[in-house]
């Protein structure tokens, strides 16, 4: 077995981004950039008003003075001529400031009478303007390659005046759950020895959320020739095959043997973590293969720790975990010789470890919101202790 940190290092050494494609900005949500987003124009493009009011030459205006209104400036329809001393232009938020105006007096301090306006005490000293390029200038890098285009990033890409962006291709993922006992949900009750497949649905959801495309979601019996055939059918099309179950060393554990005839080369085989020790990663027919344990909790924990970083790296993103120091609201027991990842629920004051940490738990996964990282050989911790954690 290798350590968790060593396994993560091997991910970084072996996962390369997929090729790139150009997509319309309207279709780019949650995709990862394959190149920097560079602004094609400044923001704002002109010096504009930050408020509704009147554009004036501030140094020439005093409280109680009356100015003549000589025009109006709206976003997209500016007042194009300059203004003289004693003149003002009605202006709206986002509209360009007239050429020789230097500020805006907001409408709350203005009293308009036809084509004249008088200003009350207290209208200064703020100019209420946004200067050209004060947000960003033409040529500025707004988003770095590898950035996931979330709502905020899409605002920046659109503001850069890009109709299209270059992104990494979505990983194509095949899911294969192995085990004679597995049945599709809704049919397990027809066989007294069957259990519902509860893993592939959750994994498919996680894959889609992380930008992947699920090309297949299959169940397979513990039959080596049949499994070899299924593997051969999935590898040509998938970028990564995720297989669950059959990862131990029993006579009916075929997760790795099913890929042997397809040239399986292991990157790592078993990691000193709990739950999830049987997790493994390899390459067959030049495609990635990730083996997850068959127990539901073990499968979901290892998917969070390994599958999500793999999908991010295949799209040019970072594969490292961002651990946060958070307080416990309940006790957590001592750890043994393996690094342990405890499931926890969020409470107002911090994280409460779930009472049942068994690797076969299914109902408890609905309450598991965070993973607490517990190094091997650590003593028990009580409420109030700070622990590293990531969202589950």
Q: For the segment 206-243, what is each residue's pLDDT rounded down to a tens digit?
A: 999 999 999 999 999 999 999 999 999 999 999 999 99
CA atoms in the 13 A half-sphere facing the CB of 348: 0
Provide the number of structural domains found in the chain.
4
* DSSP code, position 336: -
Q: Is 256 found in the same domain as 352?
A: no
Closest C-alpha to 53, from 116, 120, 128: 128
Last-in-domain residue among 109, 130, 151: 130
Domain holding 344: CATH number? 2.40.340.10
Q: Is 118 found in the same domain as 103?
A: yes
∠ CA 236-239-240, rounded to 5°: 105
Residue 252: what pLDDT? Answer: 76
Q: Which of 131-135, 225-229, 277-281, 361-365 has the lowest mean pLDDT?
A: 361-365
**Are the C-beta atoms of 342 and 332 separated by less than 8 Å?**
yes
Across all residues in the chain, what is the average pLDDT?
A: 95
Q: Is 238 found in the same domain as 205?
A: yes
Residue 249: what pLDDT? Answer: 67
Residue 250: what pLDDT? Answer: 66
In-domain check, residue 149: yes
Reported as a pLDDT band with limits 50, 70 and 90, residue 360 is confident
Q: Is 234 found in the same domain as 297?
A: yes
Residue 364: what pLDDT? Answer: 86
Reported as a pLDDT band with limits 50, 70 and 90, residue 274 is very high
Most confident of the ranges 145-159, 238-252, 345-359:
145-159
153: domain range?
Answer: 22-38+141-168
Q: Is 339 found in the same domain as 308?
A: no
pTM: 0.87
For range 118-143, the mean pLDDT: 94
Q: Is 215 found in the same domain as 102?
A: no
Could you please report the per-residue DSSP string of 322-354?
--EEEEBSS-BPPP-SSEEEEEEEEETTEEEE-
Q: For the segment 71-128, what is each residue's pLDDT rounded down to a tens digit?
A: 999 999 999 999 999 999 999 999 999 989 999 999 999 999 999 999 999 887 889 9
Residue 69: strand pairing partners: 88
Domain holding 264: CATH number? 3.40.980.10
Task: Find all residues with CB under 8 Å of 197, minimum gap 6, and list them.
Answer: 177, 182, 183, 184, 185, 219
CA separation for the pair 52, 45 (Å, rounded) = 18
> Which H or E run contains 228?
helix 224-234
In this structure, the dihedral spanned by the alpha carbons of residues 7, 9, 15 and 20, taken in order and rounded to 10 degrees, is 140
Last-in-domain residue among 296, 314, 332: 314
Q: Determine what percent of the chain is predicted with pLDDT higher than 90.
A: 94
In-domain check, residue 136: no
**Are the C-beta atoms of 293 and 242 separated by less than 8 Å?**
no
In-domain check, residue 197: yes
Above 90 in pLDDT, residue 362? no
CA atoms in the 13 A half-sphere facing the CB of 386: 4
**Are the C-beta atoms of 48 and 129 separated by less than 8 Å?**
yes
Q: For the segment 25-82, what is each residue's pLDDT rounded down to a tens digit?
A: 999 999 999 999 999 999 999 999 999 999 999 999 999 989 999 999 999 999 999 9
SS3 call for 7: helix
Closest C-alpha to 262, from 171, 174, 168: 174
Longest dimension (CA), the chain: 95
Q: Which two tokens stand for residue 332?
A: 């957590």
Residue 77: what pLDDT? Answer: 96
Q: Is 162 found in the same domain as 32?
A: yes
């Amino acid at each position: 077995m290798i350590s968790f940190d060593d396994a993560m290092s091997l991910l970084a050494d072996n996962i390369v981004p997929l090729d790139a494609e150009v997509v319309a900005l309207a279709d780019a949500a949650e995709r990862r950039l394959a190149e920097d987003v560079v602004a094609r124009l400044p923001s704002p493009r002109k010096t504009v008003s930050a408020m509704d009011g009147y554009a004036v030459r501030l140094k020439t205006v005093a409280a109680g003075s009356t100015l003549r209104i000589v025009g109006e400036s709206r976003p997209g329809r500016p007042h194009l001529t300059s203004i003289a001393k004693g003149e003002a232009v009605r202006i709206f938020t986002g509209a360009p400031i007239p050429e020789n105006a230097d500020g805006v007096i907001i409408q709350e301090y203005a009293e308009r009478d036809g084509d004249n306006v008088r200003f009350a005490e207290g209208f200064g000293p703020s100019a209420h303007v946004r200067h050209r390029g004060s947000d960003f200038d033409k040529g500025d890098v707004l988003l770095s390659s590898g950035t996931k285009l979330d709502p905020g990033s899409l605002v920046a890409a659109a503001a850069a005046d890009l109709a299209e962006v270059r992104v990494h291709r979505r990983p194509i993922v095949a899911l294969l759950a192995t085990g004679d006992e597995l049945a599709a949900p809704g049919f397990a009750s027809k066989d007294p020895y069957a259990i519902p497949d509860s893993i592939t649905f959750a994994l498919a959801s996680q894959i889609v959320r992380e930008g992947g495309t699920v090309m297949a979601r299959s169940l397979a019996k513990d039959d080596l020739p049949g499994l070899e055939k299924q593997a051969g059918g999935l590898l040509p099309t998938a970028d990564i095959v995720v297989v669950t179950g059959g990862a131990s060393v029993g006579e009916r554990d075929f997760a790795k043997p099913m890929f042997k005839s397809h040239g399986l080369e292991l990157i790592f085989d078993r990691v000193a973590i709990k739950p999830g020790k049987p997790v493994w990663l390899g390459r067959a027919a030049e495609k990635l293969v990730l083996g997850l344990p068959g127990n539901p909790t073990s499968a979901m924990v290892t998917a969070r720790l390994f599958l999500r970083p793999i999908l991010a790296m295949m799209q040019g993103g970072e594969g490292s975990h961002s651990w946060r120091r958070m307080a416990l609201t309940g006790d957590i027991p001592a750890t043994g010789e393996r690094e342990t990842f405890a499931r926890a629920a969020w409470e107002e004051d911090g994280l409460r470890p779930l009472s049942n940490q068994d690797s076969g738990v299914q109902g408890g996964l609905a309450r598991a919101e965070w993973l607490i990282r517990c190094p091997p050989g650590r003593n028990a911790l009580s409420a109030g202790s700070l622990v590293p954690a990531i969202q589950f």
